[in-house]
């Protein structure tokens, strides 16, 4: 078993303990405590259903523990977990694609939710309203992105993952990841410039 | 970086690496790009913070059932009380025929009082008559019977 303190660094390596390989996933409870929020967040934003996201999060950790022998420490724990989560997400959306689309928006994160959670330390009421409006606008644009563009955008700007990690997680070469990411960002930039032009016209 | 505005690749790199913003020469001279980077950076920061907070709320709701599901005891006790009241009300109403029986008693008393009156009137008649009924002479009621008998006997003789 891995001592829990060593997991606080977040980046752990595989160790040899008397000839026996020990992976961080041997102490799955500690890994779960550290990464559950992150995996759930990514899955909720992707699947747009909190019950399904919770179920997939549990499956992610279960699969991580089952396949712990194949973890060689070549990537971070977060990348490995995200890799499993993306695989589960793919099979989930493939098998339940109809119900998935039917359920869209049922318990998803909405623009209204985000506006309520907007951090506003020492902001004037006007600045707060402008920030809420911009947040709503950008979230609507993110929601309108294609699935790979959206996933890559979330991994990059919400989960703050490196491009190489995203490529590994998404089973894509880095240039493809960059292409999706730039298109997504371009789309958001274009919508913002259109929005500002409209505001200017008024 | 040249004097042209930032491409999407450069913009992505600037948004992902705050250190690059400090080193960028173009940002110092181009107000438009500087404003765009600042604005996008602020909104991305807000988006990230809001998404993290919002998904935490969703996670709590997913892990713990909503409060409405956690108080069925009070709800069930209220429903049980209402059901008991509904069941008890018709029973209480059904017990009212006891009063109806009390109402019927005067009818019996009336019947009894009628029979008593009849008895009293019979006694009065008996007392008022000087001759007892058994000793009274034959009334006209008996006479036709005898006359017809006489006529029939005379016809037989003829």
Structure ipTM over 0.90, yes or no: no
CA distance A123 to chain B (A): 13
CA distance B62 to chain A (A): 6
User: What DSSP string describes A2-23?
Assistant: --GGGGGGS----EEETTEEE-
Give, for all 202 residues of chain A, the pLDDT tens digit.
333 333 444 455 556 666 666 778 788 888 899 999 999 999 988 888 888 889 999 999 999 989 888 888 888 888 999 999 999 988 887 776 556 555 555 567 777 888 888 776 677 888 888 888 888 888 889 888 998 999 999 999 998 899 999 999 899 999 999 999 999 999 988 877 665 555 444 3
Strand partners, A17: A20
Whether the pTM exceeds 0.90: the reply is no
Using a CB-CB distance cutoff of 8 angstroms, which residues of chain A are in contact with residue B50?
Answer: 113-115, 117-119, 135
CB contact, 8 Å: B39 with chain A? yes
| Cβ–Cβ below 8 Å for A157 and B57 | no
| Cβ–Cβ below 8 Å for A118 and B50 | yes
| Cβ–Cβ below 8 Å for B48 and A157 | yes
CB contact, 8 Å: A41 with chain B? yes
Q: How many other CB atoms are found less than 10 A from the CB of residue A75?
A: 17
Closest CA to A44 of A119, A107, A98, A94: A107
User: What DSSP string describes B132-143?
Assistant: -GGGSPPPTTTH
Q: With beta carbons less than 8 A apart as the criterion, state whether A114 and A135 touch.
A: yes
Predicted local distance difference test score (pLDDT) of residue A9? 42
């Amino acid at each position: 078993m891995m001592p829990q303190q060593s997991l606080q660094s977040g980046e752990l390596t595989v160790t040899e303990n008397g000839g026996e390989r020990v992976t961080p996933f041997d102490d799955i409870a500690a890994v779960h405590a550290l990464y559950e929020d992150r995996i759930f967040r990514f899955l909720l934003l992707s699947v747009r259903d909190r019950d399904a996201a919770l179920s997939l999060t549990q499956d992610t950790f279960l699969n991580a523990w089952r396949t712990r022998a194949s973890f060689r420490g070549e990537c971070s724990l977060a990348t490995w977990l995200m890799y499993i989560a993306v695989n589960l997400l793919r099979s989930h959306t493939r098998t339940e694609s109809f119900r998935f689309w039917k359920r869209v928006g049922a318990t998803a994160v909405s623009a209204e939710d985000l506006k309520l959670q907007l951090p506003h330390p020492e902001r004037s009421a006007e600045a707060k309203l402008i920030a809420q409006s911009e947040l709503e606008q950008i979230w609507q644009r993110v929601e309108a992105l294609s699935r790979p563009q959206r996933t890559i955008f979330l991994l990059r700007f919400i989960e703050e993952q490196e491009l190489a990690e995203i490529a590994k997680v998404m089973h894509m070469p880095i240039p493809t990841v960059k292409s999706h990411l730039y298109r997504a960002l371009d789309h958001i930039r274009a919508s913002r410039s259109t929005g500002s032009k409209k505001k200017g016209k008024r | 970086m040249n004097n042209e505005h930032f491409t999407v690749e450069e913009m992505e790199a600037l948004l992902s690496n705050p250190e690059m913003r400090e080193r960028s020469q173009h940002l110092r001279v181009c107000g438009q790009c500087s404003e765009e980077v600042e604005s996008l950076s602020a909104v991305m920061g807000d988006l990230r913070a809001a998404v993290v907070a919002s998904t935490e709320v969703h996670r709590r709701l997913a892990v713990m059932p909503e409060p409405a599901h956690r108080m069925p005891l009070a709800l069930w006790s209220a429903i049980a009380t209402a059901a008991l009241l509904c069941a008890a009300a018709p029973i209480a109403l059904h017990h009212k025929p006891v009063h109806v029986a009390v109402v019927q008693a005067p009818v019996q008393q009336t019947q009894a009082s009628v029979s008593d009156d009849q008895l009293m009137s019979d006694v009065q008649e008996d007392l008022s008559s000087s001759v007892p009924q058994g000793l009274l002479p034959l009334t006209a009621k008996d006479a036709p019977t005898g006359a017809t008998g006489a006529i029939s006997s005379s016809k037989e003789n003829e």
